[in-house]
Structure 1
Amino acid sequence: MNSTIRPNRPSSSAPEGTSHRDRDRSFRRRERAAVALIAACWLSVIVAVMLFLASGRPAQIAGLSDAVTAAGIVTGLIGTDLLLVMLVLAARIPWVDRTFGQDAAIRLHRRLGKPAVYLILGHGALIIVGYSLRDGLSLWHQTLSLLSGADMLLAWLGTGLLVVVVVTSLVVVRRRLAHEVWHAIHLISYAAVLVAVPHQLSAGQVLAGSTPQTFYWTCLYVLAFGSIAWFRFAAPLLATEEHQLRVVGVEPLGVGVFSIHLSGRDLTRLGVRGGQYAIWRFWSRGTWWHAHPISFSAMPTDTGARLTVRALGAGTERLARLKPGTRVSFAGPYGVFTDAARSAPRLAVVAAGIGITPARALLEDTDLAQGEATVVLRATDRSQAFLWDETKSLVERSGGAVVEMVGRRPSGASSWMSADAATRGTSISTVLPDLLDSDLFVCGPGDWTDLVVAEARAAGLADRRIHVERFA
């Protein structure tokens, strides 16, 4: 069944005040910063190659073997540079998260993975061919000769570890692995890069001496591993110790859905924005080894916070049995699914199932003008109406509109709406009449979210005004 609630609200003109202009200026700054970050990633590759060319080694090329060897060195430098850039992108640096978004940073991290490994493999192949031409040995005997020496063995080990990481990151393989197993394997990439350092010191001579090339690579290694050490490990440990989070209780909301209430101290100092998430670890038997990315379902107070979880596997199911007093560690907050990402005068939100959690916190944290927000709440049936009353209260308080859409999707059709709404010819522009003057925030299951985004784009909404949080 489909029901609609539409409170009276003003016309679709933009709310008065300077908030829209401020948001637009803020968005432009973040947009420029994101472009600069991508440019810096590729600039680092150019710098690595230019420093090698300026080192004088290319001038020593006297024949085919030297040319092939030089090509092998260049591919190795580019591959290593990309690996270090990947570590920086995965380090959860707050500035990167605020301007680029952690999800976007990780997507770029993944895109760079295969090219980086292919370049490292190409480096090894070209070096073997180049040395084989120089020494007059067969490829097999040349390969065996390169296995002598601890630094070369480490280089081969590092390459093997990188191949393992790439293979286990393939979708068909990753789906067969428990998340924690995959995550542990993925951490091998840190070791894979580190074990190549002796090779660069000896055979590569990149880190030897006091040259601009040495300075560049030293800085890049320090940036990559320093960022990982601080932002992935040290900073979360210090924050956990400072805020002393504990489980107060677990509140059931429906079948497999529950809220975890936390206590702590000075939690407003976390700087959480509505719509953000953190990486949580609950220190009890059966849960301590599993880290969970969970959104805040309400804005934290100075002494308390709330998370709302849907059990999607054995790991999250165990969270429903947490005992009061359980210690909690965390990293974050992360994410740009917040009011800070907006650039339009109006706000449109479409949320399904447990996707209501970041949407509800986003609405709580947004200073809504009269009639500024329109929210669509989507569920297969009423048992999935989690936190709907709270969300409607937040929207209607400012004269906004709430649309409840309950019912299964039409069979045999690609639609994010209920079958009843689709039959009546309802469109995204019908339920969100101010869509083109809005920032659209969509949160829910991945395939469902893609359908909402596709329809919004078809209606003419620019990509920069579409913000997505997918749940799986």
Structure 2
Amino acid sequence: MTLERSGFSTAGAVGSVRPVPALSGLPPAPGTRASRRTSPADGTSTRRGRSALAVAIVGLVVVIGLALADSLPTWRFDGGPFIALGGLAALAGTYLSLALIVLVARVPWIERELGHQRLVALHRVVAPYALMLIGAHVLLTTIGYAQEARSGLLAELWTIVAHSAWMVPAAAAFVLMVALGALSYRRIRSRMRHETWWVSHLYFYLAVALAFGHQLELGTFFAGRPAQQTLWIALYVAVALLVVGSRVALPLVRSLRHDLRVADVVRESPGAVSVHLTGRDLHRLDAEGGQFFQWRFLTRSWWWQAHPYSLSASPDGRTLRITVTASGDQSAALASRLRPGTRVWAEGPYGVFTARRRHGRRVAAFAAGSGVTAVRAMLEDLPTDADVDVVVRARSASDILLRAELEALAGSRGYRLRYVIGTRFDVTLTASDIVALVPDLGACDVFVCGPAGFAALVLEAASTAGVPAARLHHESFAL
């Protein structure tokens, strides 16, 4: 069936596409890693993730409660209430800043339990509150000391910064945080290159470090109190160990162990290239189709930057493959500048956009743009008895990534593959259109990967159709 006027078309599941034996395979044997990987989710990870969040929230409440009780005697002095509230704001804001670091530290067990998409969402929710609390700390503390000294706000602010221990680096930390908050504004972020965005956020680590000295020296809860100082130092050290262990030590050890190298670079279309990688004992990575890595190609130009690219084929234990569209400086240059034999460091695997997360046989997968790569790899990991609808949106037929492979996979397994062809101006895709494409959407596990607007539309349609939140699967590969 083809509906040319509306831009909707279907690729038949039987007879109209070429099956590819390498993609079809036999059902995984019971008890193997592959069979465990494709078994439906049991909800344990969600419960563990909620428990981790509960522990973090309880920790914040305990810290604020202790500081509040400790500050009560100062409230009777001039400026005391403002100084006490400023201290509480600083304590809460710093705690949330450390939490922001942990959320994106790529800690393996946290990634497995919560999923990168949820961690990114939490990071975006928490970040403004951390900045507002630290801003409130600056304002309230300045007001409090100005009342105590009976001076003006600006004069007192200058006195605090210029004549108090560790306040110059603390002021620099505040300026850095405000600047990063401005850069995080969606319209500004959308105009930044990935490399610029990535480097700028490294300064957040510097800001948190610069603020540390004045907390211990001047903080009302820490000054002259060894026990509280020891606990705060321990918290900083724990976060630092998590970051260094997850972002430096673990990727380094894994990269040396597996000796990942570029095996081949294949141009898939004028704007897309596939990179094939080989190495030692790749089965020990325990990667799944739909997951992604932070890839660092060790060339003179690219060794310092890591980019998130999803796997575009299910790992077979011997090779890995990513398919990259030209959307930035590095991705546009891979085809011409990346050479076989190049060493690669990889952080990951990350994400829970995997076949293992489904809850039943019925699956509806939606993909657009480069999101096709993650969906295609996830589909390959589904058991052969899964009942699957696949919907792909693209501006034109030539823009569909890995189209031949999608059609071969659909043909070999009986998946129903449909295309929505046309720009968003020429072919409007609505929630009702999505339900029409998959009439029993409410009974499906829904996987969606693509641009933010497309993903939001599909998730809204699925929720309206009655799909529970636990059956909605969507992953964001970057902040």
State whether residues 377 and 402 of structure 1, in contact with CA within 8 Å, keep that contact through their aligned partners in structure 2.
no
Which of 41, 44, 48 is the matching residue for 2:59?
A: 44
Matched, 1:95 2:112: no
SS in 2 for 1:373: strand
Q: How does 1:123-162 map to 2 (within 5 A)?
A: 123-146=137-160, 147-162=162-177
2:26 is matched with none
The superposition leaves residues 192-248 of structure 1 with CA deviations (integer Å, 9 ceiling, x where unpaired) of 111122112211164566666345423321222211111112211111111111111
1:88, CA displacement in angstroms? 0.9
2:79 is matched with 65
SS in 2 for 1:202: helix
Q: 2: distance between equivalents of 1:362 and 1:278?
A: 15
Q: 2: distance between equivalents of 1:352 and 1:191?
A: 37
Q: 2: distance between equivalents of 1:3 and 1:155?
A: 60
SS in 1 for 2:308: strand
Cα distance change, pair 102–207 in 1 and its aligned pair in 2 (3 A)? farther
Matched, 1:277 2:292: yes
1:58, CA displacement in angstroms? 1.8
Q: 2: distance between equivalents of 1:140 and 1:406?
A: 60
1:252, CA displacement in angstroms? 1.3
- The runs of at least 4 consecutive aligned structure 1 residues that moved more than 6 Å come to none
1:175 is matched with 190
The alignment covers a number of residue pairs equal to 451
State whether residues 351 and 475 of structure 2, in contact with CA within 8 Å, keep that contact through their aligned partners in structure 1.
no
Write the letter of the residue equivalent to 1:328: V
Matched, 1:340 2:346: no
The superposition leaves residues 9-48 of structure 1 with CA deviations (integer Å, 9 ceiling, x where unpaired) of xxxxxxxx9x99x966x44222222322333332222111
1:133, CA displacement in angstroms? 1.6
Q: 1: distance between equivalents of 2:475 and 2:211?
A: 37
State whether residues 258 and 282 of structure 2, in contact with CA within 8 Å, keep that contact through their aligned partners in structure 1.
yes
Q: 2: distance between equivalents of 1:91 and 1:218?
A: 19
Cα distance change, pair 457–269 in 1 and its aligned pair in 2 (3 A)? same
Matched, 1:302 2:317: yes
1:317 is matched with 332
The superposition leaves residues 162-212 of structure 1 with CA deviations (integer Å, 9 ceiling, x where unpaired) of 111111211233234332222222111111111122112211164566666
Q: 1: distance between equivalents of 2:426 and 2:316?
A: 46
Q: How does 1:22-33 map to 2 (within 5 A)?
A: 26-33=41-48
State whether residues 287 and 318 of structure 1, in contact with CA within 8 Å, keep that contact through their aligned partners in structure 2.
no
TM-score (norm 2): 0.86
SS in 1 for 2:76: coil
Q: 1: distance between equivalents of 2:207 and 2:398?
A: 48
The superposition leaves residues 55-95 of structure 1 with CA deviations (integer Å, 9 ceiling, x where unpaired) of 4x423432342122111111111111111111111111112
TM-score (norm 1): 0.87
Q: 1: distance between equivalents of 2:51 and 2:398?
A: 46
Q: How does 1:21-420 map to 2 (within 5 A)?
A: 26-55=41-70, 57-146=71-160, 147-204=162-219, 206-207=221-222, 213-321=228-336, 322-369=338-385, 371-398=386-413, 400-405=414-419, 407-409=421-423, 411=425, 414-415=428-429
Cα distance change, pair 471–448 in 1 and its aligned pair in 2 (3 A)? farther
1:396, CA displacement in angstroms? 4.1
1:96, CA displacement in angstroms? 1.5
Q: 2: distance between equivalents of 1:239 and 1:308?
A: 22
State whether residues 403 and 431 of structure 1, in contact with CA within 8 Å, keep that contact through their aligned partners in structure 2.
no
Cα distance change, pair 374–173 in 1 and its aligned pair in 2 (3 A)? closer
Cα distance change, pair 384–144 in 1 and its aligned pair in 2 (3 A)? closer
SS in 1 for 2:273: strand
The superposition leaves residues 252-272 of structure 1 with CA deviations (integer Å, 9 ceiling, x where unpaired) of 111211211112111111110
SS in 2 for 1:73: helix
The superposition leaves residues 145-171 of structure 1 with CA deviations (integer Å, 9 ceiling, x where unpaired) of 212144121221211111111112112
The superposition leaves residues 366-412 of structure 1 with CA deviations (integer Å, 9 ceiling, x where unpaired) of 2232x5222233433332343233334434444x3222325315746
Q: 1: distance between equivalents of 2:138 and 2:397?
A: 59
Which structure's relative contact order is higher, taking Cα pairs within 8 Å and 6+ residues apart? 2
SS in 2 for 1:181: helix
Stretches of structure 2 that go unaligned for 5 or more consecutive residues are 16-29
Cα distance change, pair 293–284 in 1 and its aligned pair in 2 (3 A)? same
Q: Percent identity?
A: 35
Stretches of structure 1 that go unaligned for 5 or more consecutive residues are 9-16, 418-425
SS in 2 for 1:309: strand
2:19 is matched with none
SS in 1 for 2:370: helix
Write the letter of the residue equivalent to 2:437: V
State whether residues 249 and 261 of structure 1, in contact with CA within 8 Å, keep that contact through their aligned partners in structure 2.
yes
Write the letter of the residue equivalent to 2:171: W
